[in-house]
Amino acid sequence: MKLVTFSARDGAARVGVVDSQAGIVRDASPVLGEAGVLDVIRDWETRGPQLAQSLADLASLPLDEVKLHAPIPVPARDIFAVGKNYSEHVKEFGRSGYDQPDKSEDLPTDPVVFPKATTAVTGPYDDIESHPGVTDELDYEVELGVIIGKGGRGISRENAYDHVWGYVLIDDFTARDLQKKHKQWLIGKSLDTFCPMGPYAVSADEIPDVTALEVRSKVNGEDRQYGKVADLIFDIPELIAVLSAGITLQPGDIIATGTPAGVGIGFDPPKFVHPGDVIEMTITGLGTQRNTVV
């Protein structure tokens, strides 16, 4: 099931179920009331069957006549973001000189995890603010986001997928100069609008093999990034096992799994983005987002 948070002409945000082939969104508010996508995920065992049984009776709207927001506009807590999780990206990051404390192309021996603030989340077609006077080096990172459905601590690799509700497309947008300056990545990764999300939150049953998904980005129509989820250094079960070893994961938590090579700092000279540039990102089955830097 593809869930969205959308608003129609009256401006009220509500949950919808998307049929992407038909190009429509079904308004789920008669079934869910004021519940949001996060509420639905937290109570999926009840809400999922309710939605499935009611779909045929729900009013539908053309997708091109509504505004799509981030599926989870305000996550319950910061996103667990993973750095340096594709081998070729590790190499380009090391060569760039932005890796701290030294220029290293060595693959990490353990996942590199950092928080990305909830206040950075914005919609799949919203503008990305350039924050003049704060940063001069803007970069893009297409990533698969894993949405936790069943919480827990001490989750094993073997049971990890039992705890996954589904998936979402994320741009881990970054101020590279701030990332380099502060060494800890929180500030450079968390400026307002630096986490475009969506368009859809897609339940795991629609993705029969998540490792087969292809991850792509373009800037102004130029191909920049391409990778497969199968190429992750630390795969989804490993990330869940490592994070949950001492941290209780909660329903609705989001893990951004890392980005493939082709980011702006991977070029010589770097290809940073600037106001007016359009960034397009796609992951198989999860839709496409398109954001303009302003």
What integer pLDDT is reported at residue 94 of this predicted model? 85
| Average pLDDT value for the chain | 96
Q: For residue 187, what pLDDT band results from cuts at 50, 70 and 90?
A: very high
The predicted pLDDT at position 100 comes to 61
The helix (H) or strand (E) run that includes residue 62 is: strand 60-62
Question: Which tokens is 257 given?
Answer: 């799994």
Number of residues written out for the chain: 294
pLDDT digits (tens, 9 = 90+) for 196-211: 999 999 999 999 999 9
**Backbone torsions φ then ψ of 5, nearest 5 degrees:** -110, 120
pLDDT, position 103? 64
**What is the pLDDT, as a whole number, of residue 151?**
97
Fold of 79-292: Fumarylacetoacetate hydrolase; domain 2 (3.90.850)
Average pLDDT over residues 283-288: 98
Taking the C-alpha atoms of residue 120 and residue 116, their distance in angstroms, rounded to an integer, is 7
Between CA 101 and CA 109, with CA 106 as vertex, the angle to 5 degrees is 95
The per-residue pLDDT for range 8-38, each reduced to its tens digit, is 877 889 999 999 999 999 999 999 999 999 9
Q: Is 38 helix (H, G, I), strand (E, B) or coil?
A: helix
For the chain, where are the E strands, in sequence order?
2-7, 13-19, 24-27, 60-62, 67-69, 79-83, 112-116, 121-122, 138-139, 142-148, 164-171, 174-175, 195-203, 214-219, 222-228, 254-256, 278-283, 287-292
The reported pLDDT for the residue numbered 102 is 59
Q: Can you tell me the mean pLDDT for 175-203? A: 96
Task: Kindly report the pTM of this predicted structure.
Answer: 0.97
Mean pLDDT of 122-126: 98
User: Quick check: 44 pLDDT over 90?
Assistant: yes
> Is pLDDT of 101 > 70?
no
Judge whether residue 251 has pLDDT over 70. yes
pLDDT of residue 37: 98
Domain spans of the chain, in order of start: 2-69, 79-292
H or E, element range at 244:
helix 236-244
pLDDT of residue 97: 78
pLDDT at 98 (0 to 100): 76
- Residue 96's pLDDT band, with cuts at 50, 70 and 90, is confident
Give percent of the chain with pLDDT exceeding 90. 90
- Asked if pLDDT for residue 265 goes beyond 60, the answer is yes
Task: Please report, as a single letter, which amino acid is at residue 98.
Answer: Y
